[in-house]
Amino acid sequence: EDIWWRVLGQNPWIEDWCRKHEGLTLYGEAYGQVQSLKYNAKPGELFFRAFDIWDGSRWLDVREFMELLPVDCRVPLVSILPYDESIAEMAEGKSLIADNIREGIVVKPMKERTHPEIGRVVAKIVSSAYLEM
């Protein structure tokens, strides 16, 4: 009854991908019949979208990640652009994969890097609508 075993059972592409990419680890999000936002899932239905890949020693850069996974297996890409504070506005609006609100966005550099004080450079901007739920 573990959610991750149920996700694996309902999304056979995950096992196929992992067998073809031994040594790589998918990181992602289970969604559907998980929380109040159902993402158009039928009762009991679960989905999975990857947001990162770990190769055992490093996180893959964005381009490497995109080359290894089909679009429908990864979280939606909102945009590729230089960072500025107006990016926060992109966290608002409708989901890119279903008829509900957008939960937010993840912001990260095209080339993975770390900062001596904060570690890995990646941030999540949660939408106001999601916070108000």
pLDDT at position 117 is: 96
pLDDT at position 3 is: 94
Sequence length of the chain is 133
pLDDT at position 76 is: 95
**Separation CA 94–CA 110 (nearest Å):** 25
pLDDT at position 90 is: 96
pLDDT at position 1 is: 85
pLDDT at position 94 is: 96
The mean pLDDT values, 10 residues at a time, for the chain of 133 residues are 95 97 97 91 95 97 97 95 93 95 96 96 95 93
Residue whose token pair is 């926060």: 88
Q: Where are the alpha helices (DSSP H) in the chain?
A: 3-10, 13-20, 62-68, 128-132
Residue whose token pair is 């080359």: 67
Residue 7 near residue 27, CB atoms below 8 Å: no
pLDDT at position 101 is: 95
